[in-house]
Every structure is written in C-alpha cells, then in structure tokens.
C-alpha cells in the first residue's frame, strides 16, 4: 500500500485530540445547574464498566474516523496492481510468419501467454512488423483473446523495435512483455539495441523453425531479356520453374536450379515489352508466400500532364511563357500541357483534375468554390500545385481552398530590383542546374510577393532575404509557390535561358515526378498503393509496384540469448512513476471506500453514543 | 366568566414570541390585548351596579349591557359602564430567588416568565381600574411599590418589572407574613414563585394572608426540565441557591424525583385549596392565557 500524497498523513496527529479529551474527561460527570436539588437523591452512577466500554468504543470510532479521513486525503493505492499487473503480448505478423504452421504456433503461444495472466492482471495485444498496432488495449484477458480473431500474417518485414516501443508506451511504469516471434535476425538489421526500463520484464516465445524459403529477390529488365535473382534460403536445392507473366499472360518460363544458401540470376528468355506489368514467380510451398512473386512495372515514366489555370479575357492570356517552356521540354507527340481559364476549370467535373499530375495556378479569377475545393482535394490526394505570384491570384482564396493556417497573406512590393539565389543547390529543383544555378542571379525582379515563411520550406530567396521559392507538403501532394510572376509582367525571367529548366523542374517537383520511385515495399508504399504486394497506379498517374521486402526472405534466426543481447536494461522509469501512481490510484479509488467507511464509523459512533447514554 | 381558550390563536401569548419582544410594556400589552381579543365575551362587564358612563359597543360586549334607549335615540350602540363599588387593591408578589433564574429547555427563564405574567396582570388590573402594587423578594423584600390606581402607576410597575434582577436564596414565607401584617383592607394578592422551598412555611404564610381577609392566587412557575427531568447520562446536579451538589444517574432517579415533585404539587394543591386559595401551576413553555384566566376567575369572585 502506498500513498499518492503521504503528507496528508500528518493530519493523522489529529487522532490525539479525542484521546486527550477522553483522558481528561473520562471520570468527570458533567455539572448540571438545577433548582430542585433538594428533591433529588444521590445515586451511584451505575454500570460503570458498561460506560467505560461505551467510552472506549466511542474513542475507537472517533480515532478510526480521523485516521480514515487522513488516509483518504493521502489517496492510498496498491502499486502492485498497476505496472506489474500489465502483460503485453506482442505478436510478430511479418510475412516470414506465413511459413506453414508457424502462425498457428504463434497464435497458440499468444493464447497461452494471455492465459498465464494472473488475477487482476491487465492484458494488451500488439501486432508488429515494420510498424506496431495495438489490437487490444490493456484490459481483460477475454478482450485480448477476442482481438486475436483479427490477427493474420501480413506482408511487412520484421522489426522488433516498433513492437517493443509500443509495449513500453502502453505502461510507462513497467510490466511484462511477452514477445511471440520467429526471431528472424533481419528484425534487428540496421538497428541499435533497445533500452528497456528495469521495471519491465521481457519473455520470448520462439515459434520459428528450420523451414526453408525460396524467394524472387529481384527482377531487372535488360534490353532483350529478363533477369530474376532467385535466393534459396533453405536447406535443399531449389529446382523449379521461374515464370514470367505479362498482365496475366505467360510470356516466358525457365527451369532453374539454385543451391541452398545461394542466390542465382536466372535469365528468362522473353522479349521484354515496352509497357505493361511483369510478374515473375516461383513455386515454394514450404517457404513464405509473399516473396514468391515479384512485380516489375515496364511503363515508361509517365509524363506529367499539366493544367495551367490562366487569366482569361481579352489580350494576351497569362501562362504563355510557362506553357511554351513545358512544351519545349516535352518530346511526346501528344501535348501534355493544357491551358484553361478559371471559368473553364469551374466547369470541369469534380474528378476532372485527376487527369493531371500538376496544376500551375496563375490566376484564381473565375474559380468558383467547388473548383477551389476540387483543387484542394486534388493536392491532398497527391497532385502537385505550382502557384506563381500574379495580380490575378488571390492568396486568401487559395488559403481557404487548402485550409492553410495561418492564411497566406503576401504583400506585393516593388522596392527596387531584386535577384534570385538558390538557398540549397542540392534541392531537386536546382540540382539539375549544377554550376549554372548562378545564372538565376541575372534575372531582374521588379515586383515580388513578400511571404511569411511560417509553414513553408524555403528553397530560394531573393537577394534581400525575402523567400522567393517556397514549398510545403499538403496531404499526399505538394505545393510550390514562386513569389513572382512568370508572365514577364513583374520580371524578365521568361526571357532568360534558365526559365525553361526552372519551370520544368518546379512543375516536376510539385507533381512528385522528381523522386518518383517505381518500386516500394509494403512499409514504404505511397498513399494509394499497398499495403500488399502488387501493381498500383497512383492518382498522379504513376505506376508503382509493391514487392515484399527481400530482406525478410532470409531464414536466419537468432537464439534467445542473441536476442536478449539486443535488449539493454535501463533505469527504472522513476520519472514515469508519478503519473503511473496517479493512474493506479485513479483506477483503484480506495479513498472513496475510506470516506464511506468513515461515514459508517461515524454513524456507528452516533448510534452507540445515543443508545448507551 | 370567559370561555375556554382552547380554539384561540395563542401566537402572541407564546413565550417564544414574548421573549423576542422589547420592553415589558410591549410584552404585557401584547399578552393582554391578544388574550382579550381571543375572548368571545368581554371581561369588562361591570362588577358594580352604579352607572358610570356610556361606552361605544365593541364586539364581544355582552348584548345585555346594550342601552336600547340610547340606541333608539341616537341609532348607535352604547353599553352602560358601571362604577365599581369598591376598587380592589391587588398586590403582585414576584419571587426573585436564584432558582427563579433557571432556564432549561423553555424560551424564557422562570423569572422572565413570572415578570411578564406580573406585567400582564398589572396591565389587566389597570384596565379594570384596580389599584396595583408590586413586591419583589428573595429571602427578603427587595422592592416594594404600594398599590395605586393612578394613571401613571402602571408605567411605574412595568418599569420596575423590566428592571428586575435575580436575587439569591428564597424565603417565600417571610414577605407573606410581612405583607399580611401590613395590609389594612381586603386585597387580592398574587404570588408568583416556583415554591421549591419547604412548603409548610409557605402554606402558613399564605394562610396568614387569607386569614386577614385577602384573596390569594398562587402561580407556581416551573421550567419543563423541572416538570419532566429529561436529563441523560451521569451528571453532577448543582443547586442554584444552596450550591449543593448531587451526583446521580438521571435515569435512576427520574421516577423518584417526579414522584416527589408530584407529591409536593399535591401537597400545595390540597393545603391551599383547603384554605380557599387558588393554586395554579404554570409551565414556562406554555402560553400565559391560562394564568390570566385563573386571575379573572379569582377576580370575578370578588364582585
């Protein structure tokens, strides 16, 4: 039994008050002034023993009531019922657990670990691979068992650290972690030992076995053939077919033989098409299913279609230089740049922007609210938005559409001629410029937006320090803001040779095409892809493949001792003890019982005092 | 005589209400006016046969006293007021002893209750044009105001009662004998005391008064605690006058005490009624109307 506020126990000295009063008054009958004393007859005070017993009972009741009151204010709790009473069962759900019989053993071990929970011990269940999810918050064993129904092996790779850290976060004050895993060595790959507070105990339930695994570790396209790397992590020679399917149609097949522990490049004699999705697969009934097939996207890098929202009306339309710059860089026969006035954009269907990889916003004139909301949705779902400062762009409308806090509130100034300077030459927009980035300094900017950079990353500044090129992530998309005009009204940028690469790279960066990878693992898959292996087309039009992490195909396992070496005992979480104690005290609320008992004692005292007087 | 007061509103006669009132005059006026307003018949029907004056009829007056001839002449109701043949001389004797200062569970002490009773009687007497005198005493006479019916005399009596102070030991018999010797005409003596002394000397003194042709009314004023002895738990009872102490368990002696008190009351009742003396026991938690009715009954016998 501990107390949250032990200082209140000092109030227990008040117990001395009734004791002192009892000692002072125990033999004295109170004086009562009266008149007809001559009619009274002296009588011995009877039943002295009974009175003494009554007095002792009353004294005990009063002392007990005061003690209970002081104890209630001190907020008692039982520490053992809190931290030590938590059992977290963390179950490995990486695809290595899909080996025949392995996950069934894991479930069995998990149920056993839950069943071992003592009376009153709370149980939580965590499933982990590269990330950890709490399937059952600390609660009853029945809830924990119920949560197992949703548990199945996934497609991720083993990472022990997220699972352990998730368990520690459940109860900073300590507990017992039961880790159910096949103890694959790759789970600690590239990871440092994890420090676990001393008030945590960790058990391992090794459900692994010596099962082998054969995986398609990699697929690469060569001009006239397809090469698949087959890794045999088993104990027997792999001698089987390697198949290549193009969008469901078998285009090649070859028999391969791979020795145990070896990786072999298998050439599949197939004329590799220019486009499509190739799936290379093997049969491995005794290993992990997720790595038996590997996908390869054969599509050329998708061109980024760009919609230029320009100012309509008579005269020279805006966006002329930008459109020419983008078209100059596009060698495809079909135009990838479309220019529309705001009013025309407003007439597009809600999903009309989905056909574009990026939108260059040079005017907000004519954009109605649905169009602005569609623009915000487009960006948040992965689209790119390039905004150039222009007289026709109303920053308030843009902030409203994208929900920016604080709202964009630029001030257009013309304080002399400014020059542009890239802040970071390694930035994807300026990296292609190389040493020629200095040429940007030749551009004369006569009018710019002065933008507060709160919420933005600055990629380039004017020579007076004002942000010139800013960017920010918005949902899955990206916004690039150029703080001056691209129509030669505020500067002479379009007349400079550096304008074309600047425009192309800015639009490409906004659309995400600059760092467009085509192959992901389930853990790194972008929004709209995964989390299982396969081929996916993103909202930006990019075709990506998601393949199982090849490292997880390894069957190398750790011994519990080796695993234990990765667990470093740390100090007890003293800092967390106070909140833990408060949590335990709040959960137990023994002080309420103390006060109720005190009331009961006082009622009893009253009854004894009245009935025996 | 007046009718029963059982159904009357006694709010303003309640000791708890009176205790909160300011001056003795206000208390006395409240008691008497409240008392009279509740009577169905006026107590002021003449004690004499000699015409004195006409008075406007007020509700409660006996219809037999209406002068129909005056009504026939003036179309107004008047009653005939009679001059008493003899003004009664009333003496109020108030016991100041320390025991009268006792206040148990009642809203007023016995002395306060007795003072208000004396003031109310004085007020009533004054309205009846009786001469009123006041004697306060403990073991000796502390204050004496000769009987008088002068208009300002009532204020003197009320002022004296308002300034009354508690005395020490009591000796009721002594002033009774002194008064009996001093009275030269037939009078009405009202004794207000708790009568907790030795009863024999008191009865003897009262009989002495009666022997001298004086009508006597005795009000024994007792606190509810004295009447019921409600004490609980061992206690050391200290006498307010003699300072005598007796330690006892109340539950053990309650029955004996109440029996002795009843015996004392019975003794007074028998001895005094046998001598033609009115004896009324009052509870300080009860309204004063009972005492006033007792006085009026005694007063009416003197017409």
**What's the pLDDT tens digit per position in A456-508?**
888 888 888 888 999 988 888 889 999 998 888 888 899 888 888 898 888 88
CA distance A582 to A576: 10
Which secondary-structure segment (H or E) carries B50?
strand B50-56
Distance of alpha carbon A82 from alpha carbon B26, whole angstroms: 74
Mean pLDDT of B157-180: 86
pLDDT at A532: 85
Burial of B56 (0-12, 13-18, 19+ CB in 10 A): exposed
User: Is A274 within 8 Å of chain B by CB?
Assistant: no
C-beta atoms surrounding A248 within 10 Å: 7
Q: What average pLDDT does chain B have?
A: 80
pLDDT at A334 over 70: no
Is the pLDDT confidence value at B40 over 50? no
Taking contacts as CB-CB distances below 8 angstroms, the residues of chain B near A41 are: 246, 248, 253, 256-257
Minimum-distance CB partner of A36 among B234, B245, B261: B261
Name which of A32, A39, A43 is nearest B231 (Cβ-Cβ): A32
pLDDT of A427 above 80: yes
CA nearest B231 in A: which residue?
Answer: A32
- Cβ neighbour number for residue A422 with a 10 Å cutoff: 21
Measured between CB atoms, does A46 come within 8 Å of chain B? yes
pLDDT at B299: 66
pLDDT digits (tens, 9 = 90+) for A514-550: 445 567 888 877 777 777 888 887 776 677 888 888 8
Scanning the structure block, which residue is given the tokens 């995986």?
Answer: A215
Which tokens is A307 given?
A: 């919609």
Q: What is the ipTM of this complex?
A: 0.75
The pLDDT, as a whole number, for residue A331 is 54
pLDDT tens digits along A352-376: 787 788 899 988 888 888 888 888 8
Position A571 confidence tier, pLDDT thresholds 50, 70, 90? low
Residue with tokens 């695809």: A95
Kindly report, residue by residue over B257-279, the tens digit of the pLDDT: 999 999 999 999 999 988 888 88
Q: Is B77 helix (H, G, I), strand (E, B) or coil?
A: coil
pLDDT at B134: 93
Q: Tell me the C-alpha distance between A610 and A605, whole Å.
A: 9
Strands B235-239 and A31-34, by their bridges, are parallel
Which two tokens mark A265? 């490049």
pLDDT grade, residue B85 (50/70/90)? Answer: very low
Q: Which residue has the higher pLDDT, A172 or B125?
A: B125
CA distance A182 to A573: 29
Torsion, Cα A7 A12 A13 A15, to 10 degrees, reads 170
Q: Which of B233, B240, B256 sits opposite A41 (nearest CB)?
A: B256
pLDDT at A106: 92
Nearest CA in chain B to A30: B235
As a three-state string, the secondary structure of A508-539 is HHHHCCCCCCCEECCCCCCCCCCCCCEEEECC
Residues of A in contact with B99 (CB under 8 A): 35-36
On whether the CB atoms of residues B174 and B140 are closer than 8 A, the answer is: yes
Average pLDDT over chain A, rounded to an integer: 82
Query: Whole-angstrom Cα distance, residue A568 to residue A554?
Result: 25
Contacts of B272 (CB under 8 A, 6+ apart): B203, B206, B216, B218, B278, B279
- Is A49's Cβ below 8 Å from some Cβ in B? no
Residue B50 pLDDT grade (very low, low, confident, very high; cuts 50, 70, 90): low
CA distance between the termini of chain B: 12
- Stated pTM of the model: 0.41
Q: What is the pLDDT at residue A82? A: 45
Q: Does the structure show a pLDDT above 60 at B43?
A: no
Closest CA of chain B from A47, distance in Å:
10
Per residue in A282-312, pLDDT tens?
988 888 888 889 988 876 555 578 888 888 7
Winning range, highest mean pLDDT, from A383-392, B34-43, B258-267: B258-267
Residues of B with CB under 8 A from a CB of A: 99, 102, 194, 196, 223, 225-226, 231-242, 244-249, 252-253, 256-257, 260-261, 264
Work out the pLDDT band at A187, boundaries 50, 70, 90.
Answer: confident
Residue B48's pLDDT is what? 45
pLDDT, residue B87, reads 61
Out of B223, B257, B264, closest to residue A40 by CB? B257
Q: Which of residues A43 and A132 earns the better pLDDT score?
A: A132
Question: What mean pLDDT do residues A123-131 have?
Answer: 91
Residue A303: how many CB atoms within 10 A of its CB?
Answer: 14
**Cα–Cα distance measured from residue A268 to residue A280, given in angstroms and rounded to the nearest whole number:** 9
How far does B258 lie from chain A, in Å, by closest CA?
Answer: 9
- What contacts B75, CB < 8 A, 6 or more positions away? none
Do residue A33 and residue B233 have CB atoms under 8 angstroms apart?
no
% pLDDT > 70, chain A: 89
Confidence of residue B165 (pLDDT cuts 50, 70, 90): confident
Q: Which of chain A's residues have a Cβ under 8 Å away from the Cβ of B244?
A: 37-38
Q: Which residue has the higher pLDDT, A20 or B60?
A: A20
Q: Are A514 and A428 in contact (CB under 8 A)?
A: yes
Answer positive or negative: Cα dihedral of B40, B32, B221, B118.
negative
Q: Which residues contact B36 (CB under 8 A, 6 or more apart)?
A: B42, B43, B60
Inter-chain CB proximity B196 and A41 less than 8 Å:
no
pLDDT top residue among A108 and B27: A108
- State residue B84's pLDDT score: 47
Q: Choose from B194, B236, B245, B258 for mutation: most chain A CBs within 10 A.
A: B236
Query: DSSP 3-state helix, strand, coil percentages of chain B (rounded to 5)?
Result: 45, 20, 35
Closest partner CB to A46 (pick from B99, B231, B249): B249
Q: Do B237 and A34 touch (CB under 8 A)?
A: yes
Residue A555, pLDDT > 70, answer yes
Residue of B237, B254, B261 to mutate for A, most A C-beta atoms under 10 A: B237
């Amino acid at each position: 039994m501990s107390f949250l506020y032990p200082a209140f126990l000092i109030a227990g000295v008040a117990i001395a008050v009734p004791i002192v009063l009892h000692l002072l008054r125990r033999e004295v009958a109170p004086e009562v002034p009266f008149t007809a004393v001559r009619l009274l007859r002296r009588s011995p005070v009877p039943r002295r023993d009974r009175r003494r017993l009554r007095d002792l009972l009353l004294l005990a009741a009063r002392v007990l009531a005061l003690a209970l009151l002081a104890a209630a204010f001190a907020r008692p709790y039982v520490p053992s019922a809190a931290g030590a009473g938590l059992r977290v069962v963390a179950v490995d759900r990486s695809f290595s657990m899909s080996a025949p019989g392995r996950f069934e053993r894991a479930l069995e071990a998990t149920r056993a670990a839950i069943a071992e929970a003592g009376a009153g011990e709370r149980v939580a269940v965590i499933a982990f691979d590269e990330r950890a999810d709490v399937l059952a918050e600390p609660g009853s064993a029945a809830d924990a068992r119920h949560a197992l129904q949703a548990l199945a092996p996934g497609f991720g790779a083993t990472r022990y650290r997220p699972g352990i850290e998730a368990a520690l976060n459940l109860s900073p004050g300590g507990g017992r972690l039961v880790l159910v895993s096949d103890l694959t060595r790759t789970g600690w790959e590239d990871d440092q030992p994890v420090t676990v507070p001393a008030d945590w105990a960790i058990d391992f339930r090794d459900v692994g076995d010596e099962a082998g695994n054969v995986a398609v570790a990699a697929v690469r396209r060569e001009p006239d053939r397809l090469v698949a790397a087959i890794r045999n992590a088993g104990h027997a020679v792999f001698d089987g077919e390697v198949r290549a399917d193009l969008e469901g149609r078998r285009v090649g097949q070859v028999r391969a033989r791979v020795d145990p522990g070896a990786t072999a490049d298998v050439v599949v004699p197939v004329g590799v098409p220019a486009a499509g999705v190739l799936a290379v697969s093997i049969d491995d009934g005794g290993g992990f299913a997720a790595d038996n097939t590997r996908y390869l996207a054969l599509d050329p890098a998708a061109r980024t279609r760009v919609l230029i929202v320009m100012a309509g009306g008579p005269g020279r339309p805006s966006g002329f230089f930008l459109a020419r710059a983008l078209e100059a860089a596009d060698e495809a026969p079909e135009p990838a740049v479309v220019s529309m006035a705001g009013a025309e954009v407003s007439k597009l269907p809600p999903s009309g922007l989905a056909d574009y990889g990026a939108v260059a916003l040079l005017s907000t004139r004519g954009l109605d609210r649905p169009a602005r909301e569609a623009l915000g949705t487009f960006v948040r779902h992965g689209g790119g938005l390039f905004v150039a400062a222009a007289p026709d762009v109303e920053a308030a409308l843009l902030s409203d559409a994208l929900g920016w806090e604080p709202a964009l509130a630029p001030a257009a100034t013309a304080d002399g001629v400014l020059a542009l300077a890239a802040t970071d030459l390694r930035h994807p927009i300026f990296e292609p410029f190389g040493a020629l980035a200095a040429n940007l300094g030749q551009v004369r900017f006569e009018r710019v937006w002065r933008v507060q950079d709160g919420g933005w990353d600055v990629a380039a500044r004017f020579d007076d320090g004002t942000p010139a090129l800013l960017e920010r992530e918005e949902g899955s998309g990206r916004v690039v803001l150029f703080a001056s005009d691209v129509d030669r009204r505020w500067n002479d940028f379009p007349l400079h040779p550096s304008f074309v690469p600047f425009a192309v790279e800015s639009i490409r960066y906004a659309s995400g095409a600059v760092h467009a990878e085509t192959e992901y693992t389930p853990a790194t898959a972008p929004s709209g892809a995964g989390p299982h292996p396969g081929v996916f087309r993103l909202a930006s039009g990019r075709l990506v493949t998601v393949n199982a992490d090849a490292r997880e195909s390894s069957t190398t396992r750790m011994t519990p001792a080796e695993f234990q070496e990765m667990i470093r005992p740390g100090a007890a979480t003293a800092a967390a003890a106070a909140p833990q104690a408060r949590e335990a005290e709040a959960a137990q609320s023994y002080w309420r019982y103390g006060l109720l008992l005190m009331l009961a004692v006082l009622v009893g005292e009253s009854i004894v005092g009245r009935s025996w007087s | 005589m007046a009718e029963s007061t059982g159904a009357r509103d006694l709010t303003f006669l309640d000791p708890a209400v009176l205790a909160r009132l300011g001056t003795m005059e206000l208390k006395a006026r409240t008691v008497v006016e409240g008392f009279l307003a509740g009577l169905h018949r006026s107590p002021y029907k003449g004690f004499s046969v000699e015409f004195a004056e006409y008075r406007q009829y007020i509700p409660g007056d006996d219809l037999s006293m209406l002068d129909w001839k005056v009504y026939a002449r003036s179309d107004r109701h008047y009653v005939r007021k009679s001059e008493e043949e003899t003004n009664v001389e009333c003496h109020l004797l108030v016991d100041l002893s320390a025991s009268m200062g006792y206040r148990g569970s009642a809203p007023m002490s016995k002395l306060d209750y007795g003072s208000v009773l004396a003031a109310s009687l004085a007020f009533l007497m004054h309205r009846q044009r009786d001469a009123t005198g006041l004697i306060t005493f403990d073991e000796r006479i502390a204050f004496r105001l000769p009987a008088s019916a002068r208009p300002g005399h009532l204020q003197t009596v009320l002022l004296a009662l308002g300034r009354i102070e508690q005395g020490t030991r009591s000796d009721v018999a002594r002033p009774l004998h002194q008064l009996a010797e001093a009275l030269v005409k037939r009078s009405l003596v009202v004794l207000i005391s708790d009568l907790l002394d030795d009863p024999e000397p008191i009865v003897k003194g009262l009989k002495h008064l009666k022997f001298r042709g004086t009508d006597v009314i005795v009000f024994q004023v007792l606190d509810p605690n004295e009447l019921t002895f409600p004490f609980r738990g061992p206690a050391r009872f200290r006498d307010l006058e003699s300072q005598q102490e007796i330690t006892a368990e109340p539950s053990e002696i309650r029955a004996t005490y109440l029996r002795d008190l009843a015996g004392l009351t019975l003794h007074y009742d028998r001895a005094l009624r046998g001598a033609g003396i009115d004896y009324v026991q009052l509870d300080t938690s009860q309204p004063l109307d009972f005492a006033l009715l007792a006085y009026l009954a005694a007063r009416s016998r003197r017409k």
